[in-house]
Amino acid sequence: MTQTTATRFSTLKQPQYLRSALKSRIVHLGFGAFHRAHQALFTSEMLEKTQSDWGICEINLFGGEALIEQLREQDHLYTVAEKGADSTEIKLIGSVTESLHPTMDGKQSVLNKMTEEQVAIVSMTITEKGYCADPATGRLDKNNPIIQHDLHHPQTPDSAIGYIVEALRLRKEQGIKPFTVMSCDNVQENGHVARSAVLDFASLLDPKLAKWIEENVTFPCTMVDRIVPAATEETLQEIAQLIGHADPCGIACEPFRQWVIEDNFVNGRPDWDVAGAEFVADVVPFEEMKLRMLNGSHSFLAYLGYLGGYAHISDTMTNANYSKAAFDMMLKAQAPTLQMPEGTNLKSYAALLIERYSNPSLKHQTWQIAMDGSQKIAQRMGGSLRHHLANDTDYKWLALGIAGWMRYVSGVDENNQKIDVRDPMVAQLQEITAQHGLNKSVVKELLGIDAIFGQDLVENQAFVEQVTDAYQVILDKGAREAVASL
């Protein structure tokens, strides 16, 4: 640690483990807000209790160069502010040992690091779109431009999938034991999605390599949960006031955290359970609980909240109609579609989520949660919708949530102000909405996008009519009244 870094963070409780003894045994792709407040924090707290040597090398593949530069200037230390409704706890995270960026250090440096013998896990928070998967099939979208680039230039990849496959090829070639690939993204059965993408990509390059990966590499599923708003100037100023100086890498989050991990590691793993993680044989029930109840209601609140004039999730909770609608959606639309282990109390879970959403200390923007809806809607609402359609049960909350997304991607809010829609499919979405204008005729065409909704939903006339009716209510009465009508 440099003297300036030591001085800068000297007011905080220092890590009790010897950071110089850590090795980069984990390579993490995606040094974003969530990872800083979740996996890196769990690892730091695990190190406090085990005195092991599991350090993390952080890699941003796209953008974020300034963040990596700043992290290096701080000797890879940064702060996490856990903000409860009444108090804030500051934690100094010391589990990061080094960092790389292909733009700053070259692609070969990244591949060299991933090939080092001590690297046992490559973990990822690369968002849904980082897997380059077709949302409808879950398989690799081989026509994705970045995948096309990597298939033609496999030794100088751009995508996370391309880097992983090339690093595994090099390890195979050099006789080095493979690493575990661990997804930590909010993607249903994220380990299976990662596995499919990697194997599909490898098969297109070299079927023998694909077979070796299939037989030797594990892809555990994980369920991650913590509300971590994107860092804003306001957040960073607040952290600076709390610790006495600026920390551009600092991040704020809620006190609650959860990490459920399938215990399936090919080359060893840290004892994250000592820091509160839970190793299980099957993550899927917990994952679906979270995706449908938390993420599904989050999307509902994001689109209808933004349209209703609410900047933050906690703002929507000040409206009793939104709070009740979110709670009812969890228990009446999502919970009945789940198959949970005996003893799971979904009513208590829903109540805890409403409490978390209501935390005024967290400025979690509805706009932020609304991003990349084309990649999220199917996972958060699609499975539940199909359950209700098969059983002829009530799904009006899901229909309104989807209608809210459709109204949002028009790109114009209820005050005729532009919405900055961020989505990988934004061009296609806005071409469709521009053709129809704010007219219910847009509903059927949006539902007909195979990559989002598959082919079955648009063929269900009752479903199309219910979403169309919900969309018309939003047009006629506005989002707030539409939510109240539930």
Residue-wise pLDDT for 82-126, tens only, equals: 999 889 999 999 999 999 999 999 999 999 999 999 999 999 999
Residue 335 clears pLDDT 90, i.e. is over it: yes
pLDDT tier at 3 (50, 70, 90 boundaries)?
very low
Determine contact, residues 250/236, Cβ cutoff 8 Å.
yes
Residue 349 clears pLDDT 50, i.e. is over it: yes
Residue 7 clears pLDDT 80, i.e. is over it: no
Q: What is the CATH number of domain 284-484?
A: 1.10.1040.10
With H, G, I as helix, E, B as strand and everything else as coil, classify residue 244.
coil
Residue 144 clears pLDDT 80, i.e. is over it: yes
Measured CA to CA, the distance from residue 396 to residue 182 in angstroms comes to 36
pLDDT at 2 (0 to 100): 45
Beta strand 180-183 with 78-83 is unpaired
Residue 26 clears pLDDT 60, i.e. is over it: yes
pLDDT tier at 135 (50, 70, 90 boundaries)?
low
pLDDT tier at 134 (50, 70, 90 boundaries)?
confident
Residue 202 clears pLDDT 80, i.e. is over it: yes
Q: Where are the domains of the chain?
A: 3-280, 284-484
pLDDT at 10 (0 to 100): 81
Count the neighbouring beta carbons within 10 Å of the beta carbon of residue 296. Answer: 27
Count the neighbouring beta carbons within 10 Å of the beta carbon of residue 194. Answer: 27
pLDDT at 256 (0 to 100): 95
Residue 6 clears pLDDT 70, i.e. is over it: no
In percent, the amount of the chain with pLDDT more than 90 equals 91
Q: Is 368 exposed, middle or buried (CB count within 10 Å of its CB: 0-12, 13-18, 19+)?
A: middle
Residue 336 clears pLDDT 80, i.e. is over it: yes
Range in 1-15, 110-124, 286-300 with the lowest mean pLDDT: 1-15
Measured CA to CA, the distance from residue 62 to residue 438 in angstroms comes to 35
pLDDT at 194 (0 to 100): 97
Domain 3-280, what architecture?
A: 3-Layer(aba) Sandwich (3.40)
Residue 307 clears pLDDT 70, i.e. is over it: yes
Count the neighbouring beta carbons within 10 Å of the beta carbon of residue 355. Answer: 12
Mean pLDDT within 200-217 = 98
Mean pLDDT within 361-383 = 93
User: Contacts from 407-412 at CB under 8 Å and sequence distance 24+?
Assistant: 407/303, 407/307, 407/438, 407/471, 407/474, 407/475, 407/479, 408/303, 408/306, 408/307, 408/370, 408/373, 409/373, 409/433, 409/446, 410/438, 410/442, 412/438
pLDDT at 5 (0 to 100): 55
Residue 325 clears pLDDT 70, i.e. is over it: yes
Residue 177 clears pLDDT 50, i.e. is over it: yes
pLDDT tier at 4 (50, 70, 90 boundaries)?
low
pLDDT tier at 379 (50, 70, 90 boundaries)?
confident
Measured CA to CA, the distance from residue 227 to residue 254 in angstroms comes to 6
- The chain-wide mean pLDDT, for the chain, equals 95
pTM score of the predicted model: 0.84
